[in-house]
Structure 1
Amino acid sequence: MTLYYDETNNIRKLHIESNGLNIDEPQIFVLGGIIIEDESKLSLSIEELKKSINLQKSAKEIKRKHVAKGNIIDILNSPKTTSFFNWLDTNHILIHYINVDLLYYSVVDIIDSLILNSSTIYIPLNLDLKNLLYELILINKAEILEIFHKYEYPNISPDNTTPFIINLKNCLFQENESFIELKKNYDANYFHFIFHTLNGLFKDTDVHAPLAFLTNEKSFLLVDSFEHFYVTRLSLYQNAIHILDEEKSLNKELIKSCVGNTEFKFVPSHTCDFVQISDVVVGILGKFFSYINKMNLPYNINFQSELNSVGTNNLKLLCKLLLLSEERDIKFLCNVLSSKSLENFRSIINNTKVLL
């Protein structure tokens, strides 16, 4: 089994500045691509794929822009996307990925630290609490980032633990207009319960105890590098071969030291057709998950209503490819997203699954 990789939305670093984030709205990072088990059994060739998407002979390699440009709606509404998905489907090619909401990933340690300093009764609601914290941060983002900058998050010194928690709590639990809109996206009883549970966690935590997961870190630096996401994926399938698009910013020696005898290599994309196809796959997934993630904001997006007949069919094909991959091995799909985003994703998948 050979896993081919490319990535999208790698912003190199995410850090807090005096006026916000260095990247105001980071898109969903995706590392992944396709899985080839036996190249000799592919029924459609790469040349047939190129012909189906009308790739010009002058093009040195296949890129997502050759299939479709624009947002996920534009991509799904493109007939060339149909050709691309059909080529994957006919060849029984599976998809693998890890996606990461970088802001969510950067703030969830707050919940883990608070639980450690309060009570284990909050552990079963860990993901629900992280989701609500994240949503409340989104609707109070500018104020929260000011607090983060003031206390050098994620490196909260012991002397600053108490004021950090108090200021954070006061900001999160203000019932402003955005908060009222946010509540509309949830079942009233569920939201009431989780909101008061999160409030209770802030009250129960020992404000004088150091925040275990938010000390001895680099001040202001939320995401330092992306090597650990590569290590996570390579370590999962140590008996497979991993072929990845060349990425100069990565510390390859560090990756090698962490994955033992796992066979992997980085190659220039123009030398490997399957890495090029992975570029298209992760490009589409990056747009897909970034779009889904915006459903977390205090308004709803009716995803399917924006698709034409071609787009509706392409969404079915995408969901089919993802479901077949997940059925083969649940670890092929790894989502580092808030529970609300996962719920949105599953809702789209399940609603489309009925139509397959």
Structure 2
Amino acid sequence: MTYIAKGDFLSCLKSKKLEIFLDWMISNDLFLHYSNLNILYWSSIDILESMIPQELLQVHMELKTILYEFIKIDLNNFVEILYKYEYPNIDRKKANNFLDEILGYIKSNEVKFISKYPIIDNSLISLVYQVIEKSKNTELTFIVDEKNHILIDDLFIFYKRAFETV
């Protein structure tokens, strides 16, 4: 198998083989459609999507990003919580326990998070805590009545969207 480039995205952009390939595409009037789906982000955002109150919709993207960055700090432990509660099919009777474990996970990783992202406003972290805390005893709409452990059933919607934009 021949590789055009190896490594992270920025390293790949420095590849001489990639440069030759892209020059060849340009000279032959060829186009490349590229799509990147972050399955971890996409499958975890429903946690906060189920909780965001109407008055916080203006910052919901920031809150989801903060949760995602927390998830990446200690992915194995976070996945254990998800697996334990059969995410994304959280039993309504166990929803508060699930939220307590998510809060505990975030609190136990807060120091690491702040040292990794010192420029992030701490009030946004506090807001994530508040949103989760206030969601206890409420319906977590997007993470109930699903299939146990099936994060994304299929990728059709992403392909459909890609073809609609062509």
TM-score by length of 1: 0.42
Partner AA of 1:103 in structure 2? L
How do 1:6-17 and structure 2 match up within 5 A? none
How do 1:113-124 and structure 2 match up within 5 A? 113-115=50-52, 119-124=53-58
Partner AA of 2:99 in structure 1? I
Bigger Rg, structure 1 or 2: 1
In structure 2, the residue corresponding to 1:143 is in which secondary structure? helix
Q: Which residue number corresponds to residue 146 of structure 2?
A: 217
- Which gives a bigger RCO, structure 1 or 2 (Cα 8 Å, sep 6+)? 1
CA distance in 1, matches of 2:31, 2:60: 32
How do 1:66-81 and structure 2 match up within 5 A? 68-72=4-8, 75-81=12-18
1:87/1:214 CA distance change after superposition, 3 Å: same
How do 1:1-356 and structure 2 match up within 5 A? 65=2, 68-72=4-8, 75-115=12-52, 119-175=53-109, 177-184=111-118, 187=119, 190-205=120-135, 207-237=136-166
1:217 shift after superposition: 0.9
1:75 shift after superposition: 4.1
CA distance in 2, matches of 1:148, 1:218: 13
Unaligned runs of 5+ in 2: none
In structure 2, the residue corresponding to 1:231 is in which secondary structure? helix
Is the CA contact 2:99–2:133 (under 8 Å) kept in the aligned structure 1? no
CA distance in 2, matches of 1:103, 1:195: 20
1:177 shift after superposition: 4.9
Is the CA contact 1:140–1:172 (under 8 Å) kept in the aligned structure 2? no
TM-score by length of 2: 0.85
CA distance in 2, matches of 1:175, 1:137: 9
CA distance in 1, matches of 2:29, 2:82: 47
CA distance in 2, matches of 1:169, 1:177: 14
1:159/1:225 CA distance change after superposition, 3 Å: same
In structure 2, the residue corresponding to 1:173 is in which secondary structure? helix
In structure 1, the residue corresponding to 2:34 is in which secondary structure? strand
Is the CA contact 2:88–2:144 (under 8 Å) kept in the aligned structure 1? yes
Is the CA contact 2:88–2:148 (under 8 Å) kept in the aligned structure 1? yes
In structure 1, the residue corresponding to 2:88 is in which secondary structure? coil
Cα displacement string for residues 4-59 of structure 1 (whole angstroms, at most 9, x for unaligned residues): xxxxxxxxxxxxxxxxxxxxxxxxxxxxxxxxxxxxxxxxxxxxxxxxxxxxxxxx
Q: Which residue number corresponds to residue 265 of structure 1?
A: none
Normalized per residue, the structure richer in strand is 1
1:181 shift after superposition: 2.5
1:77 shift after superposition: 4.1
Is the CA contact 1:69–1:75 (under 8 Å) kept in the aligned structure 2? yes
CA distance in 2, matches of 1:152, 1:162: 14
CA distance in 1, matches of 2:129, 2:11: 41
Aligned length in residues:
165
Is the CA contact 1:111–1:130 (under 8 Å) kept in the aligned structure 2? yes
Cα displacement string for residues 322-349 of structure 1 (whole angstroms, at most 9, x for unaligned residues): xxxxxxxxxxxxxxxxxxxxxxxxxxxx
1:76/1:123 CA distance change after superposition, 3 Å: closer
Cα displacement string for residues 296-322 of structure 1 (whole angstroms, at most 9, x for unaligned residues): xxxxxxxxxxxxxxxxxxxxxxxxxxx
Is the CA contact 1:158–1:209 (under 8 Å) kept in the aligned structure 2? no
CA distance in 2, matches of 1:142, 1:77: 32
Normalized per residue, the structure richer in helix is 2
Cα displacement string for residues 280-304 of structure 1 (whole angstroms, at most 9, x for unaligned residues): xxxxxxxxxxxxxxxxxxxxxxxxx
CA distance in 2, matches of 1:235, 1:175: 40
Partner AA of 2:94 in structure 1? N
Is the CA contact 1:157–1:215 (under 8 Å) kept in the aligned structure 2? yes
